[in-house]
Amino acid sequence: MRESLLAESRAKCIKENLKRIREEVLSAALASGRSPDAVEIMAVTKTVDAPAINHAITCGIHLIGENRVQEYIAKKDGIRADGCRVHMIGHLQTNKVRQAVEHFSAIQSVDTVRLAREIGKRAAEAGKVIPILLEVNIGGESAKFGFDCRNTTDAVYEIAEIHNLKIMGLMTVPPILDDADDNSTFFSNMQRLFIDIRDKKIDNVTMNTLSMGMSADYKQAIAFGSTLVRLGSAIFGERTY
Ligand SMILES: *Cc1c(COP(=O)(O)O)cnc(C)c1O
């Protein structure tokens, strides 16, 4: 009894959060002169259990993001498929690439050319073409994964040559600042880099996805052209590890 009440209030919460987020996404898109459907909402489900993920799917979520291959494999049988796509968004180790290629429909966290080559190799073995995003370390933080923004264009040219991969765009996690408003410089730099690369019209590259914006700063990210916001705590509440 108590458990089901708890589950019920949790489901209600997720539903209300998603309703509010959709309104915010809509108004942020319109405010910057963009089409309301220009921005996709990803539910980031690290540490979130399958029942909560299923509530989000019931409420219309079609895309989820996981940070760890093992965590996703452990809970995937409990998740309702229902046409919901799953992207890898966390740092990917070479020895997990084969499983990542098997379980994810795209990999957003490609942070080295070497990793891209490994994904291409495993995708070829599986007879798949894997859509990927290049992760950019836009704040130039030494502790963070991702391409330096000065090397990203060269990396796109190099990775575009690899078979069984398709570059769809860029992803970033900007530095955590006290004032989320200060992220605008990073978002603006990402937008410029994204447009620069898109305008080069590189073979085998379709720059249609700019994945940036998380719970604290997605409205701003949308103002700078984000096409995909990755939201965890705004949907599911604070994470408990
Ligand atoms: C955890 C995570 C998110 C979501 O973070 P929230 O602040 O909870 O919205 C987005 N992107 C990546 C890569 C993450 O690891």
The tens digit of pLDDT for each residue in 59-68 reads 999 999 999 9
User: Distance, CA 232 to ligand 1 centroid (Å)?
Assistant: 6
Ligand 1 neighbourhood includes 89 CB (under 6 angstroms): yes
C-alpha angle 189-44-179 in degrees, rounded to nearest 5: 45
User: Distance, CA 144 to ligand 1 centroid (Å)?
Assistant: 14
Place of tokens 């992760």: 135
Ranges of the chain whose pLDDT falls below 70:
1-3, 180-181
- What is the four-CA torsion angle of 8, 10, 16, 19, rounded to 10 degrees? -100
The tens digit of pLDDT for each residue in 183-228 reads 899 999 999 999 999 999 999 999 999 999 999 999 999 999 999 9
Decide: helix, strand or coil at residue 85. strand
User: What b/e string do you get for 174-204 counting C-beta neighbours within 10 Å, with b at 16 or more?
Assistant: beeeeebeebeebbebbbebbeebbeeebee
Q: How far apart are the first and last CA of the chain?
A: 26
Nearest-atom number in ligand 1 for the CA of 108 is: 13
Q: What is the pLDDT of residue 181?
A: 66
Q: What is the pLDDT of residue 183?
A: 86
Ligand 1 neighbourhood includes 116 CB (under 6 angstroms): no
| Mutational pocket test of ligand 1: of 21, 104, 214, the residue with most ligand atoms within 8 Å of the beta carbon | 214
**CB contact at 8 A, 97 and 120:** no
What is the spatial distance between Cα 50 and Cα 60, in angstroms, rounded to a whole number? 15
SS3 annotation, 198-209: HHCCCCCEEEEE
What is the spatial distance between Cα 228 and Cα 207, in angstroms, rounded to a whole number? 13
Nearest-atom number in ligand 1 for the CA of 231 is: 9
Q: What is the pLDDT of residue 167?
A: 98
**CB contact at 8 A, 229 and 41:** yes
Rounded to 5 degrees, what are φ and ψ at 14? -60, -40
What is the spatial distance between Cα 127 and Cα 192, in angstroms, rounded to a whole number? 35
Place of tokens 């990927």: 132
Q: Flag whether the pTM goes above 0.85.
A: yes
